[in-house]
Amino acid sequence: MKLLPSVDVEGCRAVKRVKGVRGSGLVLGDPVDVAYRIYSLGYDAVHVVDLDSAGRSRPRSYALRLVRRLSEEIGFSLVEYGGGVGSREAVEDVASSGAGRIVVGSAWLRDQGFAYTASEAASMHGSLVLLAAEEDRDGFLLSRGWRERSGLRLEDAAALARRCGAGVFYTQVWREGLMEGPCLWRAEHARSAARGLTLVYSGGVSCDADVEELIMMGYDGVVAGMAFYTGRLTLERWGRSG
């Protein structure tokens, strides 16, 4: 199991938004510099989101160059990427740039058949697609940068992922960036629904105890952003030896 520090990119800067609101949260600086600092702390996995690619069918060229630098220049063994993955060509571009896990968001919610296309394309490069299950407080999945509510739930994402050979990226959107900790009973429900699948958690991680709880539930990865950058986690504990 790995803790994945997140590098969210807006323009050419690494940022951390609160609940996805532009201009909220932290401005961290150059994404490559931030990634070097993460790697120097002993982490060999990182989660990257290009916020400016959200809603596009293909990522920006800047995002693809960033993934390649993290994988080849810095040497992360796992780069997990999301943003603008809305076509087969996008999946192939991201995978060939070095992403081992590729998060597909709005595209599969608009067209569930795309999950099969994306998973097949990623597997040809040795990568794994994670279907984004970005859940609001009422349990419905959100799309288009969390602006639109679909009629689908986590169980639908897990069932589709099981059929097409993907995993699930589960986000508790209403807790994102607040450092209030995950809603544990819903996190347990998600793990149960996605049993046997690769499952990554994101949303509101606040301290070491939160990470421990999610590990005990059987999550394959936990993404931390605000808690990582504000010193709420014991950073050396969750590096390569974690």
pLDDT in tens, 145-181: 777 788 899 999 999 999 999 999 999 999 888 889 9
Q: What is the pLDDT of residue 29?
A: 95
Cβ neighbourhood burial of 209 (10 Å; 0-12, 13-18, 19+): exposed
pLDDT at residue 184 greater than cutoff 90:
yes
The whole-number average pLDDT for the span 71-81 is: 97
Q: CA 195, 82, 233: angle at the middle one, nearest 5?
A: 70
Residues in CB range of 192: below 8 A, 6 or more apart:
none
Please tell me the distance from the alpha carbon of residue 16 to that of residue 27, in angstroms, as a whole number.
7
pLDDT at residue 242 tops 50: no
Region 5-16: what's the mean pLDDT? 92
Angle at 62 between CA 174 and CA 90, to 5 degrees: 75
Half-sphere CA count of 190, side-chain side, radius 13 A = 32
Q: Please give the Cα distance from 165 to 161 (Å, whole number).
A: 6
Q: Where are the domains of the chain?
A: 2-238
CA distance 211 to 57: 33
SS3 helix, strand, coil % of the chain, rounded to 5?
A: 40, 30, 30
Give the residue carrying structure tokens 């063994």: 77
- pLDDT value at position 227? 93
- The model's pTM: 0.94
Average pLDDT for residues 206-229, to the nearest whole number? 95
In the predicted model, is pLDDT for residue 241 greater than 50? no
Is domain 2-238 annotated with CATH 3.20.20.70?
yes
